[in-house]
Chains A and B, each alone.
Chain A
């Protein structure tokens, strides 16, 4: 027990001195578990997050937009891969993680349970959802676990490119015809509040945050990140000439921040618990892809084994 406590203290000192923890370093079991949960959830979010946007690949309204969207969704698959690999450095198994996603045991970001009914939703996702993700991920570039931090540095570069692309779609719509402008406004209405919810519950409702902050997995609280996002995004909406759907939104000179209205946490928990418009659709899609891909994965493994045997025979 004493040794364990000593180790924990040493670990904490090491983290406090801004060192990165690497896969072979000793770490508290709860640190490892927290990270595996967080990184795998993050990976799942990238993979499920492909679906609402993939919904528009075949319908993108110009060839340039089609190529950009396809490349973006493909990047997300790549992010999923980096993150599964980062989780594997902690001893997690990719197959187990995927099984947990498919069985509903593991969570993914609830934002992807919202639908993308119009093209403007693709702009709004890039601008707002990627924007909120970046706020979180920029912080995670400095997270205490080395492989996670390095994966984040790579991911952040691509994400900020996606965000600019999304904003550019919104700009084109906002400066377009009346109908396009309306499309953009409606998409902002749909995605504003869910984007704010992406930062998670308020600090006083977020029991695990304190420990994560202490371990420097997280470096800013949910409320801090949310405020930063709002402060950054409101002027962008103004520049587009669009209205943020919050009557209580107001610049507070004294605080140097925007005041904003109350978030509907009932909606947040409802969507987390399966009542979003697309929860079932997303999980069905992932399960279908997995099940229908089973024979392909089996065949690839069988072939690899045969090849190995053939090589051994040649060698012998």
Chain B
């Protein structure tokens, strides 16, 4: 049980950390200052959630662990984020589409986590839900704006959606750890999340004049530590300093 709780906490925390890291790459390079600021805000929220969850994971793991040890001294196969979040940012529209698909999932997931039997996860959810609600609204608005903007933006968003679709199955499909956590009243019921997600995503895509792709092959493995090639580079960049000087404090 302790083992599953740790992994579940890391799944939540790694999603927040890897997404925050990816979004942080945009800072200074956004299409217009106002949206640069908005996306940085979301990155900051994700990183703030990641810190709370890493602190909890460190606590579950044992005395000698800290949030930074969890973030900077785990290797690729020990990370449990979903694969979609480690994909490179590509263009702004791709980043926004991924954000929308994930935020919508995250919103329904965290709504359930407000009732978690685990006090730590519950308190993270209480803080995070306000932020995630805003993220989900913001990214849905931008999907609509860009989907129903110009011919070019429509095309870019449709392509992004088509490319991203195969990466959405993983977060919505429970495995043994998810099931165990749900049974214990700690984790979210992903089948329920999936239903709500499908409905909301279909609704927004329609307003955005985008065509929902057919469900086909779905990629999976991130939650269990089987990653794409991208994560190794993210970690190499993120972790290099603490790993080069492991005795140092920063």
Contact = CB atoms under 8 A, between A and B. Distances in A.
16 contacts: A50-B27, A57-B27, A59-B240, A61-B248, A63-B54, A70-B24, A70-B27, A77-B36, A172-B249, A176-B250, A289-B28, A292-B31, A293-B30, A299-B153, A303-B148, A303-B149
A80 interface: yes
B250 A61 contact: yes
A64 B152 contact: no
Interface residues of B, number: 50
A67 B44 CA distance: 6
Contact of A67 (B48, B150, B242): B48
A177 B247 CA distance: 8
A297 B31 contact: yes
B146 interface: yes
Given A47-B33, A296-B92, A66 B24 contact: yes
B28 A63 contact: no
Q: Is the interface of A mostly helix, strand, loop or mixed?
A: helix
Contact of A297 (B25, B32, B237): B32
A59 B248 contact: no
Nearest to B43: A70
Interface in A170-206: 172, 176-177, 179-180
B245 A179 contact: yes
A272 interface: no
Nearest to A179: B245
Interface residues of A, number: 46
B169 to A, nearest CB: 28
Contact of A81 (B27, B30, B33, B156): B33
The 3 A-B residue pairs with the shortest CB-CB distance, nearest first, are A293-B31, A299-B149, A299-B153
B219 to A, nearest CB: 24
B109 to A, nearest CB: 22
A213 interface: no
Nearest to B92: A296
A71 to B, nearest CB: 6
Contacts of A64: 51
Contacts of A268: none
